Amino acid sequence: MKNEHYLYFAEGNGADAAGDAVMFPVSRFIGVEPISATTTGIYFRSALGDVDGGGGGGDYITVTHADKHDTAGSYHRAKLIAEAMCEVANASPHKAGVVTTVIDMDTNVHFTPIDKIKGDTGFAIAITLDT
């Protein structure tokens, strides 16, 4: 196992059962995509060695947020999430062996750029793992 930078996500269900929380190495990060006006996906290469696991959706975090893309001077939340993921991923060479909390709904700890959206009505995440 190489010395990598890791990203931690928790749904807010106590991190005491399968799928409540997950930690990914930054090297598995694929990208960010808006799914709808109120949801954004953060995608990771599956631990099974592929994106779709032979028919599944891969490993991803669905972030639920407000629909702000039509507000003057605002952007779709996907842009803010993408910027946060870019910042945390580019810190990797200097964070080997470190775990960075991106979104932890259990402790209300978030990577600083996520603070811009954590107050959105309905802000939540769902973890989906390829099986």
Amino acid at 95: K
Give the count of beta carbons closer than 10 Å to the beta carbon of residue 65: 25
On average, the pLDDT of the chain sits at: 86
Average pLDDT over residues 31-48: 90
Are the C-beta atoms of residues 56 and 131 closer than 8 Å to each other?
A: yes
For residue 43, what pLDDT band results from cuts at 50, 70 and 90?
very high
Question: From CA 43, how far away is CA 51, in angstroms rounded?
Answer: 9
Are the C-beta atoms of residues 102 and 5 closer than 8 Å to each other?
A: no
- Bin 15: left if φ > 0, else alpha if -120 < ψ < 50, else beta: left
- The stretches of 22-126 forming alpha helices (DSSP H) are 77-90
Q: What is the pLDDT of residue 45?
A: 87
- pLDDT higher than 60, residue 55: no
Question: From CA 125, how far away is CA 89, in angstroms rounded?
Answer: 19
pTM of the shown model = 0.87
For residue 53, what pLDDT band results from cuts at 50, 70 and 90?
very low
